[in-house]
Amino acid sequence: MHDLLELLTDERDAILDNAALALERSNLRHYAQDGTETSRQRLADLLALVVASVGARDLVPMVDHATQVATERFAAGFDISEVQCAFNVLEEAIWSRVVEATAPRELAQSIGMVGTVLGAGRDALARTYVSLASHQHVPTLDLTALFRGGS
């Protein structure tokens, strides 16, 4: 059994290998133009933020990073789907390792923590893209009613 932080640290290279390969297979125009090394470094930076956010139980660094990335990628002409894909492939690579190495009784919490951190990043990314595209501030959406079964 691995502690989540220990697992993310110990499995860092394998997680990055899997995520980088998945990103490369996605044939995303801008990531292909930037090259494998740059894409892998971006994934490594994102993984480091996941580790830091989980360790500190603080989403602010991830949200700040995602906002900055969205601003930079928007200005560079990236489609939001390209950047979302990078978050998704990293999350899938992390989940694969976590499921493999985590005791069943701890799996939900570990997956939940990773999903929460990357979800906060994806939310900030999407809000920033929409704000930039529409030239107006987009507040965080409150979708809790969708999860309560209400209408």
Residue 141 has pLDDT above 70, yes or no: no
- Domain range for 56: 4-147
Confidence of residue 140 (pLDDT cuts 50, 70, 90): low
Write down the pLDDT at residue 36: 78
Between helix 36-56 and helix 80-101 the angle, nearest 10°, is 60
Which pLDDT belongs to residue 1? 37
pLDDT value of residue 62: 95
- Spatial separation of the C-alpha atoms in residues 32 and 129, rounded to whole Å: 21
> The domain spanning residue 71 has which CATH number?
1.10.490.70
pLDDT in tens, 5-32: 999 999 999 999 999 999 888 877 766 6
Indicate if the pLDDT at residue 75 is higher than 50: yes
pLDDT tens per residue, range 40-60: 999 999 999 999 999 999 999
Please tell me the total count of domains within the chain: 1
Q: For 78-134, what is each residue's pLDDT tens digit?
A: 888 888 999 999 999 999 999 999 989 999 999 999 999 999 999 999 999 999 988
CA distance 67 to 126: 9
146, two tokens: 């969708």
